[in-house]
Amino acid sequence: MTFSKSEKLKQYIRRIPEFKGVVFWDITTLLKDGDIFWSCVNDISKHFRPKDVDVVVSPEARGFILGGAVAHDMMVGFVPIRKLGKLPSKTIFLTYAKEYEKDTIEMHEDAISKGDRVLFIDDLLATGGSALASIRLIEAVGGKVVGLGFLIELEYLNGRFNENVQSRYDIYSLVKYKSVSDI
C-alpha cells in the first residue's frame, strides 16, 4: 500500500483534542524535523513559482514561520500581518469575525506596492475567515493575490468555499483533513 505525501506528513502533526475550546493541529512536531519542514517549504514554493510572486504575506504567528521560509526559498520579500497595535508605522486594519471571537489585524500601508503579485501563506486553512481578511488588506493597498498556500487544510470546515475564495484564487495545501477525527 502506498501513501500520499499528505498522508505521510500527518505523522508529523500532533492533534490536540481540546485546546482553548477547539481541536488544535500542532505543527511544532513537523517544524522540528529539518528535512520534513524544508520539504514542505519546497513543495509550496514549487507550486507557486510560476505565479511570478513579488512578495509573500503571512499572519502571525505560525504563518510567519512558514511564510518567511517560503519567501526566502522564492527569493522575494516578506510582509507580516499582525494583531492590532503591533506594527510601528502607519497601518491599515480590518476587524473580522473568527470561529469563536472577533479579531483585528493590521499591515503597514506601504508594505505592498500597487500591482505587486502577492502570495498569501499560512499554516492552516479552517473556515477561511483569517485568509479572507488578509486578502482584503492586501487588495486594499493595491496588491494582487496570486495564490494562497497552507500547510494544513481542514476540509470539513469548507474554508476554500468561503465567499467564493476557491473560484478567485489558486489554493494549495499540503495536508488535508476530511474530518475532525482524521489523523
Residues marked active site are found at 62, 99
State the virtual CA torsion across 98, 110, 77, 13 in degrees, nearest 10.
-10
- CA distance linking residue 9 with residue 183, whole number of Å: 10
Owner of C-alpha cell 489585524: 105
One-character DSSP codes across 125-172? ESSSHHHHHHHHHHHHTT-EEEEEEEEEEEGGGTGGGGGGHHHHS-EE
Chain centre to alpha carbon of residue 113: 21
- CA distance linking residue 123 with residue 132, whole number of Å: 14
- CA distance linking residue 30 with residue 11, whole number of Å: 9
* 22 residue type, one letter: V
